[in-house]
Amino acid sequence: MHLLHIALFSPMFIACCIPFLSRWKTAVHTGWFVLPLPLLLCGYFISLLPNASSAPRFVSIPWIPSLGINIDLYADGLALLFALLITGIGSLVTFYSIYYLKKTEELGHFYTYLAIFMTAMLGVVLSDNIFILYTFWELTSLSSFLLIGFWNKRKGAQYGAQKSLFITVAGGLSLFASFLIIFSVTGTSSIRSIILQSDMLLNSPLFPAILLLMLLGAFTKSAQYPFHTWLPDAMEAPTPVSAYLHSATMVKAGIYLVARFLIIFASSDLFFLMVTGVGLATLCWGAFLALRQTDLKAILAYSTISQLGMVMAMLGFGTNTAVFAAVFHLFNHATFKGCLFMVAGIIDHKTGTRDIRKLRGLLTFMPITATLAFFAAFSMAGIPMPLLNGFLSKEMFFKAATQIGEGSLREAVAPFIPVAAVLGSLFTFAYSMLLVFSPFTGKVVNTREQTPQEPGVGMLISPALLALFIVGIGLFPNVLGAIVLVPAAESILGGTTSSDISFWHGFFNVPFLLSCLVVIVGTILYMTRHRWNSIYHILPGKLSFDTLYQFILTAIGKTAKTTNRIMMTESLTDYFRIVIVVFVGLAGYTLIRSLDLSFVTSHLASGEFYEYAIMAIVALSALACVFIHHRIALILTVGVTGYCVSLLFVVLRAPDLALTQLVIETVTVALFLLCFYHLPEIGKIKQRAISKGLQIILSVSVGVIVAVIGIASYSDSGQFEKISTYFLKTSYALGGGDNVVNVILVDMRGLDTLLEITVLGLAALGIYTMIHVRDRERLK
């Protein structure tokens, strides 16, 4: 196993150890055991940066070679950019959580979920195999569900966790469908190989479906319009989770996906139209809604939606300038938004509220926290100051918006893009000012028993380091550009690019003039917000996407209840009839439509008299079951048929099958005897003539269908090649065994057997849970 694989799975290993380490949380906070891991991983990924462009690291471990699915990892510039965000911000969040979460919390659960999430995100950005990427993609949804619902006794946390899971998993299934189509078109699951066959994808008639399904997965994960509705409700998570998942990692997984496949889709007008349009709509709508929020984390949630829309729009532009600006702003956003989330957590910790209507004059009590908030918020607003990295990437965004490129569609929509960019930025500036001036300035309002004060040094270190990054990048942007941003942009574009970031380009250039316009009009917008605030009663008013989500969820619930009421009649007979009807319908249709029902007997072997005797006993036993009305006798008679089949296997020299049949028949008879003991006697069950007639029809149909299937499958009609030939030829080469049946069960059907064991394990857990709940209720 390579170091890259160790780096990927090490958080998962730590997650397995955390439950044991958390036992000492009364003496040592569990976070201290976890903190060294993201620090070491961050250092390791930094060491890979020098070779990110010239010699990206590629390693592979075989997993399912027959399907071309291996654990392939590829650490190029784009992957390392995200890996640094995941581990770097992860280190700061872990350190911050040590002082944010009390030792009385379920720390073992929290850090276990956090470590699993870290592995999931690293797997998404490092995977070079689409199916491995999808596996980690869904793991991010599952682990974020656990983190958002960490305070599971709160109804808001339950609702937010479920909502995020529903929407992101639905998008994940769409992404999986896209990957399946890509695999069928290209014949490979390697992302690098898929990129090399981009012409094949672009010329495929399935290309629109591939693109739409993939973008649906990306949009849901990155909270793009109109799927953004899950992110504000996810703010019920602890602040360290919000600072990690919703500023630097999970919500940027969709951004990563679009960036990774940009080299394939960039020439498509459909890609440009969808990604640019959705990105700009998200930018404007998220910024517009942020300004009406009163909760600090809610403002940050909608601002995150808006900023993600801006990055998505730049990827939609697809030009070199836009892609570099997207990568730059992606990094900058992690710094100022992570800092702001941590500041919001400090305010909540020290004041007991995040409601800006109850917060005034905190600058007097918390000057250090206020200073950190000023730098982060002003950077997000894009104020033209040399110390702020946000202005640099915002100005590059305006430059990219005015240089859309060539093409009839691009030229047609080009005039509208700068307008949308400025409109979204106006509201961005306004809500950034709201974040700073509303809680920290004004007349002091203290309705609390304790006066707010600065937190301990430990809680300030992480946001202070992020603020230093804001200033450092603002002063020396080309250092970051040369080391991190250029390799990332080159990985996206598939060619060379350069970094030339500077603060001053002169007065008379469009990006700077647009920035000045945003500052002036944004200030007016903020100062007059109370006069036009009533517009929110009209737009969105009561017709929000959250309302639509609730309507869909309610409709699904009602449909499920109706279906359950119709189908779940509490009658085993009805359930069995449904199964039989479906089987007869599907199997009968397939036989009539597909198979040549000729019955060839020329190749059949002759049988001995005792074989015919055993088959006669089987037939007589089965026939006798129709006339028996006592359950015990009926079960034993059915058992006779099974034991005779086992005897027939012995005669035909198939001891493995005979033993399997014998064991199964014994267990089945025993279970039937136990279960049927609680059912009424057959004679006491009253049936109508219609019901009896239906049972006769179904019974005869099943018998005929099964007999025809057996005859058709054994007859050598030449329509299909027999699968037995494949197993006989490959059982030793692939499975290393001469016993074909054993090889089929253990190797050929190994995945199927694994899933069967998984189902049995889940059923066992369910039974154990029900018994445990029943016993607990009895003790009450």
Cβ contacts of 680 within 8 Å, gap of 6 or more: none
pLDDT band at 210 (very low <50, low <70, confident <90, very high): very high
Mean pLDDT of 342-350: 92
Report d(CA 37, CA 43) in Å as an integer. Answer: 10
Report d(CA 306, CA 313) in Å as an integer. Answer: 11
**How many CB atoms neighbour CB 706 within 10 A?**
13
pLDDT of residue 466: 95
Comparing 155-169, 214-228, 585-599, the range with the smallest average pLDDT is 585-599
**Cβ-based burial of 103 (10 A; exposed 0-12, middle 13-18, buried ≥19):** middle
* Helix (H), strand (E), coil (C) string for 266-322: CCCHHHHHHHHHHHHHHHHHHHHHHCCCCEHHHHHHHHHHHHHHHHHHHHHHCCHHH
Share of the chain above pLDDT 70, in %: 94
Q: Mean pLDDT in the chain? A: 88
Share of the chain above pLDDT 90, in %: 50
DSSP strand pairing (69-75 vs 57-64)? antiparallel
Per DSSP, the three-state class of 71 is: strand
Cα–Cα distances in Å, from 533 out to 436, 442, 472, 528, 607? 19, 20, 37, 9, 90
**How many CB atoms neighbour CB 772 within 10 A?**
10
Angle at 238 between CA 435 and CA 232, to 5 degrees: 55
Residue 596 has pLDDT above 90, yes or no: no
Condensed to tens digits (0 to 9), the pLDDT of residues 628-660 reads 877 788 888 988 998 999 998 888 888 878 888
Report d(CA 5, CA 298) in Å as an integer. Answer: 37
Report d(CA 84, CA 569) in Å as an integer. Answer: 56
Q: Which residues of 599-638 are buried (b: 16+ CB within 10 A; e: fewer)?
A: eeeeeeeeeeeeeeebeebbeebeeeeeeeeebeebbebb
The answer to whether 399 touches 383, Cβ cutoff 8 Å, is: no
pLDDT of residue 9: 94
pLDDT of residue 727: 84
Condensed to tens digits (0 to 9), the pLDDT of residues 465-503 reads 999 999 999 999 999 988 999 999 999 998 877 777 877
The residue length of the chain stands at 780
Cβ contacts of 1 within 8 Å, gap of 6 or more: 61
The answer to whether 147 touches 85, Cβ cutoff 8 Å, is: no
pLDDT of residue 442: 81
Report d(CA 203, CA 732) in Å as an integer. Answer: 42
pLDDT of residue 656: 79
Per DSSP, the three-state class of 190 is: strand
pTM exceeds cut of 0.95: no
* Complete DSSP assignment for 355-366: BTTS---HHHH-
Pick from 4, 164, 147: nearest CA to 83: 4
Per DSSP, the three-state class of 688 is: coil
The answer to whether 110 touches 101, Cβ cutoff 8 Å, is: yes
Residue 528 has pLDDT above 80, yes or no: yes
Cβ contacts of 588 within 8 Å, gap of 6 or more: 701, 705
pLDDT of residue 720: 61
Angle at 570 between CA 568 and CA 571, to 5 degrees: 110
Mean pLDDT of 167-193: 94
- Residue 714 tokens, joined: 């054994």
Pick from 60, 178, 69, 8: nearest CA to 751: 69
Report d(CA 474, CA 380) in Å as an integer. Answer: 12
Farthest CA pair distance, the chain: 105
pLDDT band at 450 (very low <50, low <70, confident <90, very high): low
pLDDT of residue 27: 74
Condensed to tens digits (0 to 9), the pLDDT of residues 413-431 reads 989 999 999 999 999 999 9
Omega within 30 of 0 (cis) for the link into 463: no
Residue 282 has pLDDT above 60, yes or no: yes
Angle at 293 between CA 292 and CA 299, to 5 degrees: 120
